[in-house]
């Protein structure tokens, strides 16, 4: 029996949406108030969904302690209270929430063995959320 498990996590981070490929005027036109030179912050809600067979011994898709430990060490400790513009996954990229969502998926994907990482969903605001399901299912939605 295949089942899905989704866990929610919270972290805060700041960023400035700005691309060196555009002029200052183009950046302001594309990114609006998110192009503020001093940046701005979000209280992100991260959802991580894994799937797999329910283990007959434990009754679980995956060990929640191991999932929480992986997200804590690989994602929350890396991104919480950070300026995303200064972090390595964004070298040469605009730290949009779309790009953050993909980066989180790519960091977590190799960690899972028994369970399969189905998706990462990142809520930036009450009005915006982004989801990524990996390259084979490459869709980023808002």
Q: 119: domain CATH number?
A: 3.30.479.10
Number of domains in the chain: 1
Q: Of 86, 116, 120, which Cα lies nearest the Cα of 103?
A: 120
pTM of the model: 0.91
CA pair distance 125, 9, nearest whole angstrom: 14
Residue 142 forms part of a structural domain? no
**Domain span at residue 125?**
2-136
pLDDT of residue 1: 76
Contact status, residue 96 vs residue 34, Cβ threshold 8 Å: no
pLDDT of residue 88: 84
CB 11: neighbour CB atoms within 10 A?
Answer: 19
Residue 109 forms part of a structural domain? yes
Contact status, residue 17 vs residue 36, Cβ threshold 8 Å: no
Residue 141 forms part of a structural domain? no
| 22 CB-near residues (< 8 Å, 6+ apart) | 30
Residue 32 forms part of a structural domain? yes
CA pair distance 3, 78, nearest whole angstrom: 29
Mean pLDDT, 10 residues at a time, the chain of 142 residues: 94 96 97 96 98 93 94 98 92 93 96 90 96 76 52
pLDDT of residue 137: 64
Residue 6 forms part of a structural domain? yes
Residue 52 forms part of a structural domain? yes
pLDDT of residue 140: 52
């Amino acid at each position: 029996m295949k089942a899905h498990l989704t866990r929610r996590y919270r972290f805060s981070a700041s960023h400035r949406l700005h691309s060196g490929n555009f002029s200052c005027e183009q950046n302001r036109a594309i990114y609006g108030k998110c192009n503020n030179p001093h940046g701005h912050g979000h209280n992100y809600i991260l959802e991580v969904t894994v799937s797999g067979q329910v283990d007959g011994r434990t009754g679980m898709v995956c060990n929640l302690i191991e999932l929480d430990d992986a997200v804590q060490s690989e994602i929350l400790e890396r991104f919480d209270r950070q300026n995303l513009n200064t972090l390595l996954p964004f070298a040469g990229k605009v730290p949009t929430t779309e790009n953050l969502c993909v980066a989180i998926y790519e960091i977590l994907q190799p960690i899972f063995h028994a369970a399969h990482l189905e998706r990462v969903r990142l809520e930036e605001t009450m009005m915006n959320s982004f989801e990524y399901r990996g390259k084979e299912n490459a869709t980023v939605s808002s």
